[in-house]
A and B are shown apart, each in its own frame.
Chain A
Amino acid sequence: MKILSSYQSGLSSFFLEIGEMGKFTGRYFRELFSRPFEFREFLKQCYQMGNKSLLLVSVTGFILGLVFTLQSRPTLMEFGAVSWMPSMISISIVREIGPVIIALICAGRIGSSIGAELGSMRVTEQIDAMEVSGTNPFKFLVVTRILSATCMLPILVIVGDFVALIGSAIIENIKGDVSFTLYFNQVFAALEFTDLLPATVKTFFFGFAIGLVGCFKGYNSKKGTAGVGKASNSAVVFTSMLLFVLDFIAVFITDIFYN
């Protein structure tokens, strides 16, 4: 009975959080199109999220391409289909692995950063001070961050995909004597708009989800400094889960429209 009641309270708090997040999202869209626009803060956040994450994303993408090619190569060789490597790698990376892995990396870096930053501002009452001073903290802190994450994630994913393909091409060049020209010829012959465009569109949603969850968790953090850690941690966990859900929905919709 006690377990059941604990499940009930957990479930009700989950739905409560979802509802609050819905309201938070609604407020975001309201504030997004209302003046004044915090353009400088937006650019600053873009720099923080984009440029500061570039190295991490590039290294991750490069290693992803290398490892994926190295691991796939023996199996493809077994079937005598090693010439299909560029096609397979490019479609896998551009369609699915690139966006998801880079979004997860960004969820770890950007989501936790936003959660911790806004959480510490909340617990140290900086947000309350902004409200008192007549500044709209939601517009300044939340809208700029969510919008920056939404805009920068696609850029990071494109760069990450490109670096991953370069990593794969290097391995193919070393192991299989495939020239870069031939590799990228096969990559572009295999890719279609139906691979590139839906994958790019879904990264906007991934970015939005990272920014939204990070901001929501940080903006609503409680219970002092412990709440900051919790906000940061739950932002990463919830964003990661949400990314997979969004990915499933994106794949499902793409499948309906293109097949």
Chain B
Amino acid sequence: MKSNSAQNIKLGVLIISGLIIFTLGVFFIGNKQNLFGDSILVSSVFKNVNGLQSGNNVRYSGVNVGTVKEIKFLNDTAICVDMLINREAGNLIKNNALATINSDGLVGSMVLNILPSSQAPSPTIKEGDTLASISQVATADMLNTLNKTNENAALLTQDLLKITNSINSGEGVLGDLLKDKTLAKNVQESVENLNETTKSARLGLAKLNGILNNVDYENSVAGLLLSDTSAQKSFSTIIKDLEKTSSQIKGISVDLGEFSNNLNSEKGALNYVLKDSSFVNHLDQSMENIEEATHRFNENMEALKHNILFRGYFRKLERQKARAEKEN
């Protein structure tokens, strides 16, 4: 008898445990679907519900606040979705909030999202209210877009294939670049030259940088030019004067050019002097004649000194000369 009672107690414990687990399971599932709590029934009208089903979650700002109760056709273009929203959350949702249907992730079930409105403040929802709805891009639309993108990608790859085929067959500049060894060698050399140039430029810049670093900005002329504004103005004036001078020099050089041209032309006397060889010969002969005449004249003058008529005059000149030297 005692054994039977113990067995019955154990059996009772098992049965009650099983029933408690079952009841808790039912309660939690029902609670998730807002079947036991105090809830508000609101609805929203959509053109397309994108596979939304009764029991799908309703979210407000990402928080589960209820479930879809019923989906029914109003007419051929409007579908009414009734949803149960728990009263606690319902006291926060304004009646100008917007309802939209989205997918819970790429492979998830559909959810009805309630978005807070950014418009003017509005009273909270109450039993039987209808929320405005907006349609968002559905997965099918995304897939359609993706399909178009894929088609474009296919066309692009076809074109790319053509281009690569052309390049491989050596057509065009790129083909030459790939196939022509001479061109490749030239390019390689150019690159090497460019490399060397950049190296030199780098060294040059380093040197310049060193020079600039070594410039005494306070005491040197360069420093004065770079830092003193009055010196910069003076230097600017000098540059302007130099510009003027250079323009004048330019004019002079033009004149000199003209003179040189005239000199080279047959019209001028100098050209005659410089270029006519017979004239030069005549001139040379004339000079020789003048020299000979001068020599003979000197001989005549010497003879004249010894002439009795002019001897007194010459002696008088010698005495005046000697007297002047003595006085000095």
A residues lining the B interface (CB < 8 Å): 40, 43-44, 46-47, 50-51, 54, 81, 154-156, 158-159, 162, 184, 188-189, 191-193, 196, 200
Q: Does B22 contact A (CB under 8 A)?
A: yes
Determine the residue in chain A with the shortest Cβ distance to B27. Answer: A188
- Bound state CA distance, A54 and B55, in angstroms? 34
Q: Among A44, A192, A200, point to the contact of B22 (Cβ < 8 A).
A: A200
Q: What residues of A have a CB within 8 angstroms of the CB of B7 in the complex?
A: 43-44, 47, 51
Q: What residues of A have a CB within 8 angstroms of the CB of B25 in the complex?
A: 158, 188, 191, 196
Q: Among B8, B15, B26, point to the contact of A196 (Cβ < 8 A).
A: B26
- Bound state CA distance, A256 and B134, in angstroms? 34
Smallest CB separation, B269 vs chain A (Å): 105
Q: Among A44, A155, A159, A193, point to the contact of B26 (Cβ < 8 A).
A: A193
Do B11 and A189 touch across chains, with their CB atoms under 8 A apart? Answer: no
B residues lining the A interface (CB < 8 Å): 4, 7-8, 10-11, 14-15, 17-19, 21-22, 25-26, 28-33, 55, 57, 64, 107
Do B14 and A196 touch across chains, with their CB atoms under 8 A apart? Answer: no
3 tightest A-B CB contacts, nearest first: A155-B18, A188-B28, A47-B7
* A-B Cβ contacts below 8 A, count: 59
Smallest CB separation, B12 vs chain A (Å): 9
Determine the residue in chain A with the shortest Cβ distance to B25. Answer: A196
Q: What residues of B have a CB within 8 angstroms of the CB of A54 in the complex?
A: 14
Do A159 and B18 touch across chains, with their CB atoms under 8 A apart? Answer: yes
Smallest CB separation, B241 vs chain A (Å): 79
Q: What residues of B have a CB within 8 angstroms of the CB of A184 in the complex?
A: 28
Do B17 and A40 touch across chains, with their CB atoms under 8 A apart? Answer: no
Q: What residues of A have a CB within 8 angstroms of the CB of B107 in the complex?
A: 81
Q: Among B4, B15, B31, B32, point to the contact of A155 (Cβ < 8 A).
A: B15
Do A50 and B11 touch across chains, with their CB atoms under 8 A apart? Answer: yes
Q: What are 25 A-B contacts with C-beta separation under 8 Å?
A: A40-B4, A44-B4, A44-B7, A47-B8, A47-B11, A50-B14, A50-B15, A51-B10, A51-B14, A54-B14, A81-B107, A155-B15, A155-B18, A158-B18, A158-B21, A158-B25, A159-B17, A162-B21, A184-B28, A188-B28, A189-B57, A191-B29, A192-B29, A192-B55, A193-B30
Given contacts A81-B107, A158-B25, A188-B32, 18 further A-B contacts (CB under 8 A): A40-B4, A43-B4, A44-B7, A46-B11, A47-B7, A47-B10, A50-B14, A51-B14, A155-B14, A155-B15, A159-B17, A188-B25, A188-B29, A191-B25, A192-B33, A193-B29, A196-B25, A196-B26
Smallest CB separation, A80 vs chain B (Å): 10
- Given known A40-B4, A47-B8, contact A154–B18 (CB-CB < 8 A): yes
Smallest CB separation, B131 vs chain A (Å): 23
- Bound state CA distance, A46 and B16, in angstroms? 13
- Bound state CA distance, A47 and B11, in angstroms? 5
Determine the residue in chain B with the shortest Cβ distance to A49. Answer: B11
Do B29 and A159 touch across chains, with their CB atoms under 8 A apart? Answer: no
Determine the residue in chain A with the shortest Cβ distance to B67. Answer: A192
Smallest CB separation, A6 vs chain B (Å): 47
Smallest CB separation, B2 vs chain A (Å): 14
Smallest CB separation, B235 vs chain A (Å): 71
Q: What residues of B have a CB within 8 angstroms of the CB of A40 in the complex?
A: 4
- Bound state CA distance, A200 and B26, in angstroms? 11
- Bound state CA distance, A139 and B64, in angstroms? 53
Smallest CB separation, B201 vs chain A (Å): 52
Q: Among A43, A159, A191, A200, point to the contact of B8 (Cβ < 8 A).
A: A43
- Bound state CA distance, A189 and B107, in angstroms? 16
Q: What residues of B have a CB within 8 angstroms of the CB of A81 in the complex?
A: 107
Q: What residues of B have a CB within 8 angstroms of the CB of A156 in the complex?
A: 18
Q: What residues of A have a CB within 8 angstroms of the CB of B15 in the complex?
A: 46, 50, 155
- Bound state CA distance, A40 and B4, in angstroms? 9
Q: What residues of A have a CB within 8 angstroms of the CB of B32 in the complex?
A: 188-189
Kindly name the residue among B8, B22, B26, B55 whose own CB sees the greatest number of chain A CB atoms within 10 A. B22
Determine the residue in chain B with the shortest Cβ distance to A159. Answer: B18
Smallest CB separation, B186 vs chain A (Å): 52
